[in-house]
Amino acid sequence: MMSQQVTVVGAGVIGLAVAWRAAAAGHRVTVVDPAPGRGASWVAGGMLAPVTEAWPGEETVLTLGERSLRRWPSFARELAVDAFEPGLSEAGTVVAARDAADAEQLTILADYLHRIGRSVEVANGRRLRSLVPGLASAMRAGIVVPGDLAVDNRQLLDALQAGCTRHGVRFMRESAREVAPKQVVTDSGEYDSDAVVLAAGARSALLHPELREAVRPLKGEILRLRARKGCLPPPAVTVRAIVEGRPLYLVPRVDGELVVGATQYESGYDEAVKAGGVRELLDYAEQVYPSVSEYELAETTAGLRAASVDNLPLIGRLSDGVIVATGHYRNGLLHAPVTADAVLAVLADEELPDDVAAASPARDRKEERV
Ligand code: GLY
């Protein structure tokens, strides 16, 4: 392999995963980001959940997610060798519905998965409560998906930065203003390299003209709650729920925190946490797992997902000397391993597997649901 000078713009989970793998493969890597390990990846719930994020018409997103999920255990092991464990949880996921209309949404998902050859266990209230003691008695129907996992997003980001440092990645703590062929422009100057990897999440749209219409910010707020003395502890598995037609998730961390997410709306590049967003999340979380009303509200945060028009990321060569790795929508943590592998393959001029090539930025992009 020819060692190349690679500049990665963006140090969220995608940029850091690319930088770590590229440096481990022998490339000379610089990462440009004013605040490495922050942004949407820092805010995320950490679900690695291609099945429970699936939706009719989005088979390519599902297939890509499943490929990346298969890669996750070895990715985590490799990171543990180079840095430390990223906090992969194999506890699995249950999804619960509150009323008949919410249950109907789950039936659509279960029927769709069945039609395309993925089976999920359909569960009644008693089965759900055997897996999640403390689940509200109003949650009557659900599905069980042991294969949908979770990772501690913040531990992962720390581990990826340590892995980068171990392999000599250089960090430039400043904002990119523009990405041109083989060049990144920042406030301090113009920096040339053999290849630029544009992995700046929603901000990628501001950095390259071809991404202006292709990627947009989709705001999400989350809460971090902490069980107080005497409270029922958080669930042992990831609990997703549909309440009044809205999706909610509760993702436990080993340190006792519970990440509750997430709102989702178009609000440009605004990252303020709205009082109404917090109220909505607290209200729905309490309807799903009533004990949370006694928990400490430890943190509220907002981040910007990078949404593409068809909910599939954009991974591949954008132009000579520019590789794009953005638009991961709700799946950035899940897609990190497959994206890093794909960028390495593009750097080596290797062909991508069909389900990864489907995410080419040159594809015909048609609008899907948001
Ligand atoms: N991955 C879940 C979310 O984007 O809220």
Residue whose Cα lies nearest atom 1 of ligand 1: it is 330
- Which atom of ligand 1 lies closest to the CA of 329? 4
**For ligand 1, mutation pick of 239, 284, 305 (most atoms within 8 Å of CB):** 305
Residue with tokens 């070895």: 74
- Cα-to-centroid distance, 326 and ligand 1 (Å): 15
Percentages of the chain per state (helix, strand, coil), in multiples of 5: 35, 30, 35
Residue whose Cα lies nearest atom 5 of ligand 1: it is 262
Q: Is the pLDDT of residue 146 over 50?
A: yes
Of 26, 7, 54, which Cα lies nearest the Cα of 330?
A: 54
Q: What is the pLDDT of residue 365?
A: 67
**How many other CB atoms are there within 10 angstroms of residue 77's CB atom?**
13
| Structural domains of the chain, with CATH | 1-88+150-214+309-370 (3.50.50.60), 93-146+216-308 (3.30.9.10)
Angle, vertex CA 5, rays to CA 76 and CA 84, nearest 5? 20
Which residues lie with the beta carbon below 6 Å from any ligand 1 atom? 45, 47, 220, 261-262, 305, 330
Residue 356, token pair as written in the block: 């990864």
Model pLDDT for residues 300-328, shown as the tens digit of each residue: 999 999 999 999 999 999 998 999 999 99
In DSSP terms, which residues pair with 243 in a beta bridge? 246
Q: How many whole angstroms separate alpha carbon 50 and alpha carbon 65?
A: 5
> H-helix or E-strand containing 337?
helix 332-347
Of 70, 365, 370, 18, which Cα lies nearest the Cα of 201?
A: 18
Model pLDDT for residues 197-232, shown as the tens digit of each residue: 999 999 999 999 999 999 999 999 999 999 999 999
Q: How many whole angstroms separate alpha carbon 352 and alpha carbon 313?
A: 15
Model pLDDT for residues 60-114, shown as the tens digit of each residue: 999 999 999 999 999 999 999 999 999 999 999 999 999 999 999 999 999 999 9
**pTM: predicted TM-score of the whole model, two decimal places:** 0.96
- Which atom of ligand 1 lies closest to the CA of 222? 5
Q: How many DSSP H helices and E strands does the chain contain? A: 10, 20
Instruction: Return phi, psi of residue 302, to 5°.
Output: -125, 150
Residue whose Cα lies nearest atom 4 of ligand 1: it is 330
Model pLDDT for residues 249-286, shown as the tens digit of each residue: 999 999 999 999 999 999 999 999 999 999 999 999 99
Q: How many whole angstroms separate alpha carbon 247 and alpha carbon 171?
A: 37
Q: How many CA atoms lie within 13 A of 107 on its CB side?
A: 10
Q: How many whole angstroms separate alpha carbon 116 and alpha carbon 260?
A: 30
- Cα-to-centroid distance, 330 and ligand 1 (Å): 4
Q: Is the pLDDT of residue 130 over 90?
A: yes
- Cα-to-centroid distance, 248 and ligand 1 (Å): 9
Residue 45: strand, helix, or coil: coil
**How many other CB atoms are there within 10 angstroms of residue 92's CB atom?**
17
Instruction: Return phi, psi of residue 224, to 5°.
Output: -115, 120
Residue with tokens 């409270």: 231
- Which atom of ligand 1 lies closest to the CA of 334? 1
Q: What is the pLDDT of residue 367?
A: 58
Residue whose Cα lies nearest atom 2 of ligand 1: it is 330
